[in-house]
A and B are shown apart, each in its own frame.
Chain A
């Protein structure tokens, strides 16, 4: 949901923003174009292809100064981005599903070397069987790699979040993955508002500024980048003597990241007039709700529509969309969910032999409460399976029934699978 601020006028009023009809992939490409990216290295994979296709058009037409590297695999795409970012460039790449899985090794390296790379993940199911449609199992595979993960709900948010991502990455010194649902967002045309180029330039503070760090053998503070004048080694051998300490850097950076995501979101809201909850969670009708459902990505809109309908019928239901998945907003979510009788957690992915990935997080968030809501996990929409409103309504009805009974018998349920 887009909240246009009503109180104060945004710095760039809507009449000064350009209304464009684009799909999610093109929206990301336009956002990247406005962000003065130095290097884009990418390999095409459905449903991400349009991002890179569109961006290579910009490069070919001379509209951007970007160095475009058409690599031979996603593993190389991320490697090229790591090299470029280590040299001080603002780097971007995009991928999906199996491509992201092939990047896996380098994702960890990008995060550990604290390189502010931005990656657009167009969520798609992992093989086998081969499936090109929306599913969050690819994003959940990179969950522990140390990347900030943000899920967009619509095309406008995908555009806004991509611009925010560069600022978040460069402030937090962590790479950021912007997730948008494959086909539901990536290939769906929407009217979106785009900021003027100079407003984005100003928002990001111009080209990337490299962070400084003190290095003993040089005896001074230098920019943490590959520079012959101040030679540094990136990613050398680091065994049990210092590896643990270096991981602490990432732990601390993730702690800070949540604040930075909020700050950047608020700053962007002032500029554009568009905000998404508080930047990390988007609650809807949760104040007095008995049943609250948490959701990620584009399904948020459907769930909200059903909540609106059920509220008109007098049911006390609500929903909260989790926008920031890593770092996970435990405290904020606990505050919202603690009053509910039943919490339903929707997951578009499953950890085989366990529950859905976001169920585990919500469970952890609620564990410390004295009076806990009942928890149910709904795995839905795997491989792009449609989630129509009546299916969501059926889920709410089941949860309301659980609230009445006060016990949950089956914790893991599947929504929309044929028996």
Chain B
């Protein structure tokens, strides 16, 4: 948001009552993922079972192709488990 101070901020700059100072939209919940889903587009039949079952609503469907929003994907692997044509593979995230 406009006018925001850079992170991390000291306790004096935070609002009272342990209120969050930024919107929840700005929190990325996928940054601690261990496995990442990779979709084999040649196998994908666009049944959207992955979209239906994703608990994080991290599967995106633009009308032509299925993709994954990695900002919010937690790597649970439900999409890979539910895919009827085994088009999704879970591969380990690179560790530094």
| Neighbour of A238 across the interface among B1, B2, B10, B18, CB < 8 A | B18
Interface size on A, residues (CB 8 A): 25
- Decide if A211 touches B16 in the complex (CB within 8 Å): yes
Q: Does A352 contact B (CB under 8 A)?
A: no
Tell me the dominant secondary structure on chain B's binding face.
loop
Tell me the dominant secondary structure on chain A's binding face.
loop
Which of B's residues lie within 8 Å of A, judged by CB? 1-5, 8-11, 14-24
- Decide if A245 touches B10 in the complex (CB within 8 Å): yes
Q: Does A113 contact B (CB under 8 A)?
A: yes
Q: How many A-B residue pairs have CB under 8 A?
A: 62
Residue interface mask A169-184, B partner, CB < 8 A = 1: 0000100000000000
List A contacts of B17 (CB < 8 A): 113-115, 173, 213, 224, 234
Residue interface mask A233-249, B partner, CB < 8 A = 1: 11110100110011011
Query: Which residues of chain A (74-126) have a CB below 8 Å from chain B?
Result: 112-115
Query: What is the distance, in angstroms, from B41's C-beta to the closest C-beta of chain A?
Result: 35
List A contacts of B21 (CB < 8 A): 215-217
- Decide if A217 touches B16 in the complex (CB within 8 Å): no
- Decide if B15 touches A214 in the complex (CB within 8 Å): yes
* Docked CA distance A233–B23 (Å): 9
Closest to A244 in B: B11
Closest to B18 in A: A246
* A219-B2, A245-B10, A248-B11 known; A233 vs B16 contact (CB < 8 Å): no
Q: Does A387 contact B (CB under 8 A)?
A: no
Closest to A248 in B: B11
- Decide if A216 touches B16 in the complex (CB within 8 Å): no
* Docked CA distance A217–B20 (Å): 9
Residue interface mask A311-346, B partner, CB < 8 A = 1: 000000000000000000000000000000000000
List B contacts of A213 (CB < 8 A): 15-17, 19
List B contacts of A242 (CB < 8 A): 14
List B contacts of A248 (CB < 8 A): 11
| Neighbour of A246 across the interface among B1, B14, B24, CB < 8 A | B14
Closest to A112 in B: B18
Which 7 pairs show the lowest CB-CB distances between chains A and B?
A: A245-B11, A248-B11, A213-B16, A213-B15, A216-B21, A246-B18, A114-B17
* Docked CA distance A38–B8 (Å): 39
